[in-house]
Amino acid sequence: MANIITRKSVMTLFSSPTCPMSHCARFVLHEKSITADIEYYDPNDPPEDLLELNPTGVSPTLIERDLVLYDSRIIMEYLDERFPHPPLHQMDPVSRATARMLIRRIDQDWYQLLDEILYSGEKKSARAKKLLRESLLSSASIFAARPFFMNDEFSLIDCVIGPLLWRLPDLGIDINTPNEEITQYAQRIFKRTGFKRSLSEAEKEMAEAPR
């Protein structure tokens, strides 16, 4: 890997090829057609030159000139503000604050369970799968109510939900419902050019979009 210090003028996103948080950041990059280098690495064995700028080695890490960001949600917000067109947040402060609270709720309710599924023992993982499926299904009417999640326009919220839904078939979680509300929503997200381009080779192999 080339030395990071020598190319700080180029925006670079260091990303795990399978981390859902990294996938969210990549989704925003491609949705907004931002010119940036995406470099994949193993978060369990981060390159030394990355560790010099981000001692945690956490994925994703965004580097642009002297700026180093290593929180997925902060990176997503930064990219949306740094490249305002097309906007992925509502313009008025109340709507933006509401969206941020909703993303926080999704992280607490759904991503926390996803972490347990991915990184816990078999017993705890099985329980988390059941809870995540039940929680998603209980929200089916919300997925069906509008074209995008609680919005008529595509937003950062969808950039958060899409990578989570993409992983469900590979994890053995069936979220099909009698009216396929969540599946239809997922298809709208997965068919977007930005989403297709955001997939790493490893993610392409995870699962097809739910049928």
CATH of the domain at 131: 1.20.1050.10
- pLDDT digit string, tens, across residues 111-158: 999 999 999 888 899 999 999 999 999 999 999 999 999 999 999 999
Is 75:69 a contact under the CB 8 Å cutoff?
A: yes
211 located within any domain:
no
Q: What is the mean pLDDT of residues 178-187?
A: 89
Structural domain boundaries, residue 102: 93-192
Which residue is catalytic, options 4, 19, 99, 102? 19
The pLDDT assigned to 209 comes to 41
Write out the two tokens for 5. 């210090």
Burial of 122 from C-beta contacts in 10 A (0-12 / 13-18 / 19+): exposed
CA dihedral angle for residue 79, residue 30, residue 89, residue 67, rounded to 10 degrees: -10
Highest mean pLDDT among 30-34, 54-58, 178-182: 30-34
For the chain, how many structural domains are there in total?
2
Residues 72 and 104 in one domain: no
Rounded Cα–Cα distance for residues 165 and 5 (Å): 36
The pLDDT assigned to 99 comes to 94
Residues 61 and 37 in one domain: yes
Q: What is the mean pLDDT of residues 83-91?
A: 89
Domain finish residue from 82, 117, 147: 82
Catalytic site includes residue 19: yes
Residues 98 and 178 in one domain: yes
